[in-house]
Chains A and B, each alone.
Chain A
Amino acid sequence: MLIYALRRLLQAIPVIILIMIGTFLLLKLTPGDTVDALVGDMGGADADFIARMRAEYGLDQPVWVQLWRYMVKLATFDMGQSFVYEQPVATVLMDRLGTTLLLMATSLSLAFSIGITLGAFAARRAYSLTDNLISTLGLVFYATPSFFLSLMMMLLFSVKLGWLPVGGIKTIAGFYTGWDHVVDVARHLIMPTAALSLIYLSFYLRLMRSSVIQVADQDFVRTARAKGAGETRLMVHHIMRNALLPAVTLFGLQFSTLLGGSVVVETIFTLPGLGQLAYQSVIQRDMNTLMGIIFLCSIIVILVNFLTDLLYARLDSRIELS
């Protein structure tokens, strides 16, 4: 088990290095750099000043030298300074990580649990009215882009009804503490979570529905019936356990796409998370911050995939970690 974990760690290192090199080169291909963006913000500067600034940030060097310098620093977990925030990138990221993780964890667990329940429910009543209703609903969620859903919810719940705050993570002038703070944050997260989770919910719903229908048809379910097991027992012990496996695989895969989805949702709801930070860093060509975000995200994705594999091995007795 420990050896397995170590080996996975070893496998992760080249993956991360490749990701970092790839993104670095990709970002260098974009027209304009930090200095251009800063100078643009300042409203212009003379060529001498621009050249001095480039030299200061090391941007006057050839790309491969810059890459080498960055990678060497990264090897000591030093992600450098953010050009825009004038703070170490690590500090900027840690500030934002909490919000994003909170958003992602709630969205994904909601999508997972509700999607699976609805999917299993639909499958047990396959081709009935209930099933059709649930499946159609899933299709609608699946087809609605999250930005559209976000804007419509905002229009309905914040502008028309005034029930929920439009954006942000907390009421700025509220200074809530204790439970009040929790409730406040939760109120701010309702719409972003809904916008982010509904699409993923429909994935789980559809997957689970077909998976349950397929498993319910298998020989060992018939065996259990012939043993005199009732429907509840069949569902809990025989069907769900086996039908859950593909959903768990999807869980690990979706975590990475969810990170991408959070860029849109965080920007719309002005949540101070990694997604919003990434968006701003691109606009301002804040290379170090952007690289830092990607570094952090790849670590998170690799970690989650490792945890999914562990969970899968726990759920499926046929898989042995070695």
Chain B
Amino acid sequence: MTADTAPILTVRDLRIALPEGADRPFALQGLDLTVHPGEIVCMVGESGSGKSLSAGAIMRLLPEPHVHVAGGKIIFEGEDLLAKTEAEMRKVRGNRISMIFQEPMTALNPQKTVGWQIDEVLKLHMGAKRKERQAHALEMLKRVHIPDPESAYNAYPHQISGGQRQRVMIAMALSLSPKLVIADEPTTALDVTTQLQILKLIRDLQKEDGAGVLFITHDFGVVAEIADHVIVLRQGEVVEQGPADQVLNDPKHPYTQALIASVPDLLPPPPKPVTTLPVVLKGTGLRKTFAARGGLLTGKRKAVVAVKDLSFELHQGETLGVVGESGSGKTTVSRLVTRLLDADAGAVEVDGTDLLACTPRELRGMRKHIQMVFQDPMASLNPRKRVVDIIAQGPIVHGEDPDKARARARDLLELVELSPAAANRFPHEFSGGQRQRIGIARALAMEPKVIVADEPVSALDVSVQAQVLKLLADLRDRMNLSLLFVTHDLRVAAQLCDRIIVMQKGEVVEAGFTAEVFANPQHPYTQNLLASIPGRTWTPPYRKTDAA
């Protein structure tokens, strides 16, 4: 590649110390990396691997003095960054090294216009007149392909979409042609189709400018899409690094192999002959509009159609995936079928009884037939209750003997592969993956006919995600569960779902067996979604031997 040119950034034996009482003394132990001009170096690792802190160290933006650099060297264009004063660093930041952050929602100041915020970088480093700066900012907005740059220049961040906000961040980061761009999970919060556009944009602009990019991500799909060179981190230590091709297709370290094996591959299960099985959950003509609010005395809000005319059937023992991007109405579907939200029209039949026509008293009885697993394992468990009580609460409410319910709760913990000792602890004592297992046990406690899972693995690291998915698949097969599985992640859907429904703007655009939809998508929207999966051309070399 560009090994003959001088590197832009060299990091040698970087160590970052954590405050006393942290789970380990060093967040980062002996990081070595080199970024050459025109090269994209991907730093991959799960949460807590220290990848974001290393970016903070290079920018000298660590939350000092609690977290500080304890040793090593950071050489940027021949200058030692660690030896610079704060005032000197301020001249480097945003000018010669710039950063793109994860959350385009919160990374921009909500009270300043887009133009003002781009202008701020120029004002700080460019030293040009106001007119020139504005022309330059507009030029940058054009380069990141924002439609109508003039109006975007005067817009506030909340007036433009998430993808556009990330484009603004990129315009801001690249506006002074920095030598090094650090991108910290820049596409994690975006929809797949937007993610692909943004990745392409970063790659194109970086090629034009010849900048080096240090790209931080947890997603091997993204790595496959963009990386030239890959560094794999675990718990602050580099376990493997090398050219992208080699690390992705021939990983040497067992941890890298395990991580790559956890990436759900894009091979859906063969179609099950499910249509002959009895229907346990049936939705007909579901419709939900979030009504326009207000009138004479209050402010008006436009009506939003979240779901229009949705019908589906879920058979015994089947997994039906509902996929779509944000705003497609997939989460509303999960709330409608559980009647956590009242539909405007339609019927939801659980075993032949219409849930939506139930009286409140009947509804309480029906609730036990349909249970949910939620997205955020952090927020969906009551922090003041012990695990055993969380799990046993449902059955107790439905009239089971408390002692029996608790005993069963302990059995369920075993079923979701947690130790029975977990029963008497509180949710915060568990990791995200373990908490999601508790959430699953809670749902199973009611012995429901249907489980509705709303993005149950989205908040988890890949390796944990793979375990939870495997558990779900296991339980489904052993207990003949019927799952309605809502997800934005097509890889996850491919791995678990027998059939899928693809939603766009509240409407079903395509439905069918997962394998068939993936192999031969009919609707342009589905085609676009599938074409946007990061790293879709790359097949992980390590398959889980016991794949679901």
A223 near B124 with CB under 8 A, answer no
Min distance, Cβ B105 to any Cβ of chain A, angstroms: 8
Residues of chain B at the chain A interface (Cβ within 8 Å):
59, 61, 90-95, 98-99, 101, 103, 106-113, 120-121, 124-125, 156, 158, 169, 172, 296-297, 299-300
Residues of B within 8 A of A223 (CB): 99, 101, 107-109, 169
B108 near A318 with CB under 8 A, answer no
B94 near A238 with CB under 8 A, answer no
Given contacts A316-B111, A318-B158, A322-B300, contact A228 B121 (CB under 8 A): yes
A219 near B107 with CB under 8 A, answer yes
A227 to B61, CA, bound (A): 11
A318 near B156 with CB under 8 A, answer yes
Min distance, Cβ A82 to any Cβ of chain B, angstroms: 35
Which of B110, B111, B120 interacts with A229 by CB under 8 Å?
Answer: B120
Min distance, Cβ A44 to any Cβ of chain B, angstroms: 53
A238 near B109 with CB under 8 A, answer yes
Could you give, for residues 300-322 of chain A, a 1 whenever the CB lies within 8 Å of some chain B CB and a 0 otherwise?
00000000000000011110011
A7 to B103, CA, bound (A): 38
Could you give, for residues 8-19 of chain A, a 1 whenever the CB lies within 8 Å of some chain B CB and a 0 otherwise?
001100000000
A230 to B110, CA, bound (A): 19
A226 to B175, CA, bound (A): 13
Which of A219, A224, A225, A315 interacts with B111 by CB under 8 Å?
Answer: A315
Which of A224, A238, A317 interacts with B156 by CB under 8 Å?
Answer: A317
A227 near B120 with CB under 8 A, answer yes
Nearest chain B residue, comparing its CB with the CB of A7: B297
A222 to B103, CA, bound (A): 12
Q: Across the A-B interface, give the 9 residue pairs with the lowest CB-CB distance, nearest first.
A: A227-B94, A228-B94, A228-B93, A219-B106, A226-B99, A220-B109, A317-B156, A219-B107, A228-B90
Residues of B within 8 A of A227 (CB): 93-94, 98, 120-121, 124, 172
Residues of A within 8 A of B121 (CB): 227-228
A71 to B59, CA, bound (A): 69
Q: Does A241 contact B (CB under 8 A)?
A: yes
A241 to B109, CA, bound (A): 10
Q: Does A218 contact B (CB under 8 A)?
A: yes
Nearest chain B residue, comparing its CB with the CB of A225: B61
Instruction: State the main secondary structure of chain A at its contact with B.
Output: helix
Which of A220, A237, A322 interacts with B108 by CB under 8 Å?
Answer: A220
For window 223-268 of A, CB contacts with B under 8 Å fall at 223-230, 237-238, 241-242
B297 near A11 with CB under 8 A, answer yes
A238 to B95, CA, bound (A): 19
Which of B101, B110, B297 interacts with A10 by CB under 8 Å?
Answer: B297
21 contacts between A and B (CB under 8 A): A220-B110, A222-B61, A222-B101, A223-B101, A225-B93, A226-B94, A226-B98, A228-B92, A228-B93, A229-B90, A229-B94, A229-B124, A237-B109, A237-B112, A237-B120, A241-B111, A317-B111, A317-B112, A317-B113, A317-B156, A322-B299
Given contacts A223-B101, A224-B120, contact A318 B110 (CB under 8 A): yes
Residues of A within 8 A of B297 (CB): 7, 10-11
B107 near A220 with CB under 8 A, answer yes
For window 148-167 of A, CB contacts with B under 8 Å fall at none
B120 near A219 with CB under 8 A, answer no
